[in-house]
Amino acid sequence: MCIYLLIGKRMVSWCPLFLYTTPVVFFSAFTCACLSAVAGEDITFFAAGAESGSGAASKNTARAAFGFFQDSDYFFAALYLGAAAGVGGHTVLNYVLGYLSPMVVSTALLMEPVLGTAIGVVLEVTSPKVAEWAAATLAGVPILLAGLVLLVKSEKP
């Protein structure tokens, strides 16, 4: 992540954001697909022999790289993950690198589990085991916040 943020800082200083993030996203998707194939995962491009919405599509879609186009349940989940995590997450991180140092951004990323836990608690997406983890995670919030504040204050303008 450190190298990614350092490269992002350099790229954002002279390159429009979309020109940097678009190839990065496609390269990472291509790399993941290749690694899945090398690892012996039984993947295909599309779910074979199934109509959209049929039971067979759901069985085959889980192993299809672009199977989310054929099953509306997978399509909306993939659309959400692409928009929220991709655009709302990594692209915003690269945008912020234009204003903050990579050290501040990478330290702020430590808040991700805390925010995820807080969202899970608010949405009541909990089980007894998750509730234990949530308590432990939220107990670390003051330490993380204090460290982040100290780091930001120590940054030279």
- pTM greater than 0.85: no
Lowest mean pLDDT among 60-69, 86-95, 100-109: 60-69
Q: What six digits make up the tokens of 56? A: 């067979």
DSSP assignment of 23-55 equals HHHHHHHHHHHHHHHHTT---BSS-TT--TTSH
Q: Are 97 and 8 in contact (CB under 8 A)?
A: yes
pLDDT value at 121 more than 60:
yes
Q: What is the pLDDT of residues 14-53, one digit of tens each?
A: 989 888 888 888 888 788 778 877 776 666 666 665 554 5
| Beta-carbon contacts of residue 102 (< 8 Å; ≥ 6 apart) | 2, 5, 6, 8, 9
Domains in the chain: boundaries: 1-99, 100-157
